[in-house]
Chains A and B, each alone.
Chain A
Amino acid sequence: AQTIHQWPVAEIKAVGSPLSLGCTIKGKSSPNLYWYWQATGGTLQQLFYSITVGQVESVVQLNLSASRPKDDQFILSTEKLLLSHSGFYLCAWSLDEEQYFGPGTRLTVL
């Protein structure tokens, strides 16, 4: 069975501090991977997607970066957080049209 794990579950960070969010997928080989951001009560905005290890495409520029160091791992990071980065970050994987979402990380920037 496939599992998707995101860490941490929640973060409270100060403006200007660095951030690293992680996502791992077990039980699937070479999935497409995605990062989404969701403001409270808002829609899902796709940030990045990756088709293979080492390759990441940016969809929306939000002063964030992403990397895929391993086939089953996707990292979202920034060196300097902004207040506007607060929200719910979701990782997802797919092999075809359907995307399978992780439990998400709640980020609060103060």
Chain B
Amino acid sequence: SQLAEENSWALSVHEGESVTVNCSYKTSITALQWYRQKSGKGPAQLILIRSNEREKRNGRLRATLDTSSQSSSLSITATRCEDTAVYFCATDAHSAGNKLTFGIGTRVLVRP
């Protein structure tokens, strides 16, 4: 079965600094997604990176994917207090229904 997991429980940075969240997974995937969940809310997708892509950007966000090591990273530059959230990676399988397997999440705290 597939397992997606982030490599750190929690990270803390000061506003304006950069932060990187890492994720590893097992088995092959068609795509990997990064989601952000703020306290008490549902998650929202940040970036989707396909298995044939190595890097994807979305504003201050940059995701990388290394299928040989089955790992991905999400970097946030020029962090803001509103970036404080739990960040999940999620992987799909070659299956019907677009089922996703979410990692355990990394809590990112951006301090003023």
* A contact set with B: CB distance below 8 Å: 32, 34, 42-46, 49-51, 57, 59, 90, 92, 94, 96-104, 106
Is the Cβ of B48 less than 8 Å from the Cβ of A43? no
Take A46-B99, A51-B97 as given contacts and tell me if A98 and B33 are in contact as well, using a CB distance cutoff of 8 Å: yes
CA separation between A49 and B95, bound complex, in Å? 12
B contact patch SS: mixed
* Number of A-B residue pairs having CB atoms within 8 Å of each other in the complex: 54
* B contact set with A: CB distance below 8 Å: 30-31, 33, 40-45, 48, 88, 92, 96-105
Is the Cβ of A51 less than 8 Å from the Cβ of B42? no
CA separation between A69 and B92, bound complex, in Å? 27
**CB of B87, distance to nearest CB on chain A (Å):** 12
CA separation between A48 and B76, bound complex, in Å? 32
Is the Cβ of A92 less than 8 Å from the Cβ of B33? no
List chain A residues, Cβ under 8 A from B48: 97-98
**CB of B35, distance to nearest CB on chain A (Å):** 8
CA separation between A46 and B91, bound complex, in Å? 12
Is the Cβ of A97 less than 8 Å from the Cβ of B92? yes
Is the Cβ of B41 less than 8 Å from the Cβ of A97? no
List chain A residues, Cβ under 8 A from B40: 104, 106
